[in-house]
Amino acid sequence: MQAEFVFSSESVTRGHPDKLCDQISDKIAASYLKNDPNARVVAEVAMSTGIVFTSVRFWSRFGVDTSALAREAITEAGYVEGKFKARTCTIMSSLIESNSPVSENDSDAYGDDAISNGQSTVFGFACNHTPEFMPLPISLAHKLVRRLDEVRDNKDLPYLSPDGKTQVAVEFRRSRPYRIYGVSISAGQSKDDIPVRKQLEDDIRERVLAPAFANEPIRPDGDTRILIHPGGKGGPYRHAGLTGRKGGADTYGEFARRSDSALSGKDPTRVERIGSYAARYAAKHVVAAGLAEHCEVQLSYWLGSPGPVSLQVETFGTGRVSEDEIAQRLRRHFDFRVGALLRHFRIREMDPEKLFPRLAVYGHFGRTDLPLPWEALDYVEAMREG
């Protein structure tokens, strides 16, 4: 990586069509898991204009009402009036029942030796830009969209529509965040003529931009490019949405590699989901233990194998010990088998309906508002000691 560069990341609000698809997908997956902890499910959603299409492949002893769940997510996102709204949009569903993943007598479907149900190479990343060990551009972009959602939800800026987007560009010097190069905010409006452009800019600067940066050590300065766009009505009536299309916002803002598979809409036994969480867990420990300033952990899972067939570590020249040594310590202290991860993260003890849909917006990593087990730091001292 060059010593001096500008890097930008984007995030989107709950009402962005792609994020809305993620939330519907995770609501469906969570509903299956709430009724049947052994359920297997992959739910994908597409939407455009007034049509929402859900495609669900599942195995469960219980069924769920996918249309009702979709309307519930659309309502929660704020689409209760206008040309696209929860009550009147058309919802089409395709439900495909799979064969049982376990025998009727198998009570240990989450056992340590449970095999991978797919092939996937996943990546986890951590760095020392923020206290949450996340890249600064995506961390700031998430803070801004949270504020956009908050001021709309609490009627502070009631004219905002649910669909919004933010982008933050950070200037790096000596590979460290140095200043805010630029901020772009696209604020959707519920009506075309409200408000005038200057009022929108003033409101966003005062109610969104300033609070989001209030406690940040690096803030916009006199040379920061700040662009505030009227986003129009936006939403699914104006542009399409698809589950998994905002993978950068879900992970590291494209600052690091990620799997091309969607995280939302899948039960936690899916290796592309649980493996991505495990890789982040490992990378975060490496940075928290002071072994590197940046760390990427790559895990490659093979269909039918209980654990990864390959573990690779990249520290981008910031390691204080060799990458081989870090990999050895990870293998020594972490069990990356799918079943062992499910047990260690205590997945069965989680309430999927409270967790999964909330993960579908503002990212799956670096969250301080959720008790995520893959964000815990359980083995920092062990990693330091070797």
Mean pLDDT of the region 49-65: 94
DSSP string, 44-111: EEEEETTEEEEEEEEE-SS---HHHHHHHHHHHHT-SSSSS-TTTSEEEEEEEEPPPSS-TT---TT-
Task: Name the band, by pLDDT with cuts 50, 70 and 90, for residue 263.
Answer: very high
Task: Name the band, by pLDDT with cuts 50, 70 and 90, for residue 109.
Answer: low
CATH number of 5-11+136-234: 3.30.300.10
Mean pLDDT of the region 12-38: 97
Radius of gyration of the chain (CA): 21
Model confidence over 322-347: pLDDT tens digits?
999 999 999 999 999 999 999 999 99
Of 219, 303, 240, 288, whose CA–CA distance to 84 is shortest?
Answer: 240
Contacts of 340 (CB under 8 A, 6+ apart): 112, 307
**Which residues on neighbouring strands pair with residue 95, listed in sequence order?**
56
**Dmax of the chain from CA atoms?**
67
Q: Catalogue the E-assigned strands of 130-224.
A: 160-173, 176-189
**CATH architecture observed for domain 120-129+246-385:** 2-Layer Sandwich (3.30)
Distances from the Cα of 301 to the Cα of 70, 275, 360, angstroms? 32, 8, 24
Q: Position 16: which residue type? A: H
Model confidence over 212-248: pLDDT tens digits?
999 999 999 999 999 998 877 778 888 899 999 999 9
Helix, strand or coil for residue 165?
strand
| Contact status, residue 137 vs residue 168, Cβ threshold 8 Å | yes
Domains 5-11+136-234 and 120-129+246-385 share a fold: yes
Q: Where are the domains of the chain?
A: 5-11+136-234, 17-97, 120-129+246-385
Model confidence over 127-161: pLDDT tens digits?
999 999 999 999 999 999 999 999 999 999 999 99
DSSP state of 127: E
Q: Does domain 17-97 have CATH number 3.30.300.10?
A: yes
Q: Position 250: which residue type? A: D
| Contact status, residue 53 vs residue 47, Cβ threshold 8 Å | yes
Of 54, 12, 8, 66, whose CA–CA distance to 245 is shortest?
Answer: 12
Of 73, 71, 99, 205, whose CA–CA distance to 144 is shortest?
Answer: 205
Whether a cis peptide bond, with omega within 30° of 0, leads into 195 is: yes
